[in-house]
Amino acid sequence: MKKFFAQSYLWLLLALLYAPIIIIAIFSFTEAKVLGNWTGFSTNLYTSLFSGGVRHNLLDAIENTFTIALIAAAVSTILGSIAAIGIHNMRGKRRQAITFLNNIPMLNPDIITGISLFLLFVSLSITQGYTTVVLAHIAFCTPYVVLSVMPRLQQMNPNIYEAALDLGATPFQALRKVIIPEIRPGMISGFILAFTLSIDDFAVTIFTIGNQGLETLSTFIYADARKGGLTPELRPLSTIIFVTVLLLLIIINVRARRAARKQENI
């Protein structure tokens, strides 16, 4: 009996958490303009999403979102990995201080990050637009990459870099042939994390996107919702994004578990 209640509690909690997204997913397969009306099964919203049946700026927003996420994730992976290697080679107090500084942006509310970046760009009189959004996303993604690369460096035998130099590798060759293969799993996890964080972001984006008409998905949906009534095509879109993120998360977890198992075998 006790077990039954414990189980039901868990399922109830999960149902509450996932109900909204499941409802959207279900209603993405019907054509009704208003969410909640079921007018029969149809995949028309999916077709119209991709065949230009929607307003042109939704497709632009989708494209912007994904290109920004790709660029931000790629750049922050490079910056974050380099930073992690640097921090790893520091000693004592300095290392503690830098690690602490790296953690602050992650704990800082997004809205603060957004406002401060907005003020920074304004004070440097940089026109806000695509570039500023990319820069802002790189800024808040990089600490997460550092965090996912650091454990790999800590597990690494400290002598292998020296061993590579000893065998005739230049410092750059040693980095490429020895250090990077060792930290690659951390870099990939960091990249995926940065990518999903960037797609997801609203608070930082809205402050750095400027007023030149640039839209990402999150700002588009926000504007759309405020105009009253969501474009019906947002339902299949949300579903697709949800499934994509879910898949990415599953990949991250499976990789982490596999790495842990490999570690145990050693």
Partner 1 sequence: MVTKNDTIIKIEHLSKAFGDKVVLDDINLDIRRGEFITLLGPSGCGKTTLLRMIAGFLKPDSGVIMMEGNDISEVPPHRRPLNTVFQRYALFPHLNVYDNIAFGLKLNKVPTAEIETRVRKALKMVSMTDYEDRDVNSLSGGQQQRVAIARAIVNRPKVLLLDEPLAALDLKMRKDMQMELKQMHQELGITFIYVTHDQEEALTLSDTVVVMSDGKIQQIGTPIDIYNEPVNSFVADFIGESNILNGTMIHDREVEFIGHTFECVDEGFGDNAPVDVVIRPEDIYIIANAENAKFTGVVKSCIFKGVHYEMFVETDKGYELMLQDYNAFEVESTVGMFIKPSDIHVMHKERTCNTFEGKMISPNKVEIMGAEFECCDCGLKEGDNIYAAINFDRVELLDNKEDGIVMGEVVFILYKGNHYHITVLTDDGDKIYVDTNDIWDKGDIVGVSIAPSDLHITKRV
Interacting residues with partner 1 (CB under 8 A)? 157, 159-160, 162-171, 173-174, 177-178, 181-182, 262, 265-266
> Which tokens go with 95?
């290392």
Least distance from partner 1 to the Cβ atom of residue 145, Å: 20
DSSP annotation of 230? -
Nearer to partner 1, 24 or 179 (CB): 179
Least distance from partner 1 to the Cβ atom of residue 189, Å: 17
Nearer to partner 1, 41 or 172 (CB): 172
Least distance from partner 1 to the Cβ atom of residue 162, Å: 5
Least distance from partner 1 to the Cβ atom of residue 185, Å: 10
Least distance from partner 1 to the Cβ atom of residue 171, Å: 8
Nearer to partner 1, 127 or 170 (CB): 170
Enumerate the β-bridge partners of residue 41: 30
- Three-state SS letters, 160-186: HHHHHHHCCCCHHHHHHHHHHHHHHHH
Nearer to partner 1, 136 or 183 (CB): 183
Nearer to partner 1, 120 or 259 (CB): 259
| Signed CA dihedral, 133, 135, 140, 141: sign only | positive
d(CA 136, CA 126): 13
Nearer to partner 1, 123 or 159 (CB): 159
Least distance from partner 1 to the Cβ atom of residue 149, Å: 16
Nearer to partner 1, 185 or 232 (CB): 185
> Which tokens go with 138?
């790189």
Least distance from partner 1 to the Cβ atom of residue 8, Å: 45
d(CA 54, CA 68): 22
DSSP string, 200-221: H--HHHHHHS-SSS---HHHHH
User: Phi/psi of residue 89, each to 5°?
Assistant: -85, -5
> Which tokens go with 5?
């209640």
Report whether 81 contacts 168 (CB < 8 A): no
Nearest residue to 144 via CA among 106, 111, 180? 106
